[in-house]
């Protein structure tokens, strides 16, 4: 199973020190050059940048350039460079999952027929696979660090976790 990851989910997982769960969920996690640039070079001191560099060096993440085939795909100008390359790469390789958080980009990718997961669903999948005990504390940690998550979403997950 192949996943292509965008910047936001990688930074979120890196900030939680959870990049190591990706190879347990996906056989390969591909990352296009624009995502690597956004996550490591644009803000080199950003939380998670070093962890993402290490994950690339250690083979947890795999740098992969979209081919020219994907360039024929129409991508609107409002998509960021990382989102555009991630969508092109996912389309190009026939990825099983595109890991993407931006709501508009997610909708656009889904309209293209790409299966999309966000950071929250990746964490829930890891929990369901027995890799994490609970998701709620992680979501609260992400929200405290500036990651945009609604209170209702966290409350819904907290309730589901308390009932299981």
Domains of the chain in sequence order = 2-132 (3.40.50.1010)
Partners of 116 in the β-ladder: 98
Distance CA 136, CA 40 (A): 27
Query: Given this model, what pLDDT does residue 4 score?
Result: 97
pLDDT band at 71 (very low <50, low <70, confident <90, very high): low
Beta strands in 62-117 (DSSP E): 62-63, 97-99, 116-117
Distance CA 87, CA 106 (A): 9
Phi, psi angles (nearest 5°) of residue 125: -65, -40
Average model confidence (pLDDT) for the chain? 91
Query: Given this model, what pLDDT does residue 87 score?
Result: 94
Query: Given this model, what pLDDT does residue 22 score?
Result: 97
Query: Given this model, what pLDDT does residue 76 score?
Result: 83
- pLDDT-above-70 percentage for the chain: 96
Query: Given this model, what pLDDT does residue 69 score?
Result: 57
For the chain, what is the largest distance between any 2 Cα atoms, rounded to a whole number of angstroms? 48
pLDDT, tens digit, for every residue of 23-53?
A: 999 999 999 999 999 999 887 677 788 999 9
Across the range 83-89, mean pLDDT stands at 94
Closest alpha carbon to 25 in 5, 51, 48, 50: 5
Check whether 102 has a pLDDT greater than 80: yes
Cβ-proximal residues to 159 (8 Å cutoff; 6+ apart), any chain: none
Across the range 82-111, mean pLDDT stands at 94
């Amino acid at each position: 199973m192949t996943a292509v990851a965008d910047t936001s989910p990688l930074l979120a997982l890196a900030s939680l020190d959870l990049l190591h769960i990706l190879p347990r969920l996906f056989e390969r996690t591909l990352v296009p050059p624009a995502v690597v640039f956004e996550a490591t070079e644009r803000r080199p001191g950003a939380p998670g940048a070093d962890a993402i560099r290490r994950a690339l060096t250690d083979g947890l993440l795999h740098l992969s350039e979209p081919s020219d085939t994907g360039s024929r795909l129409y991508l609107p100008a409002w998509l960021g460079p990382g989102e555009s390359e991630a969508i092109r790469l996912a389309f190009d390789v026939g990825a099983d999952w595109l890991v993407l958080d931006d709501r508009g980009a997610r909708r656009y990718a889904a309209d293209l027929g790409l299966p999309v997961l966000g950071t929250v669903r990746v964490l829930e999948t890891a929990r369901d696979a027995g890799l994490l005990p609970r998701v709620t504390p992680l979501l609260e940690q992400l929200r405290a660090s500036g990651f945009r998550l609604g209170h209702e979403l966290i409350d819904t997950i907290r309730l589901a976790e308390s009932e299981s």
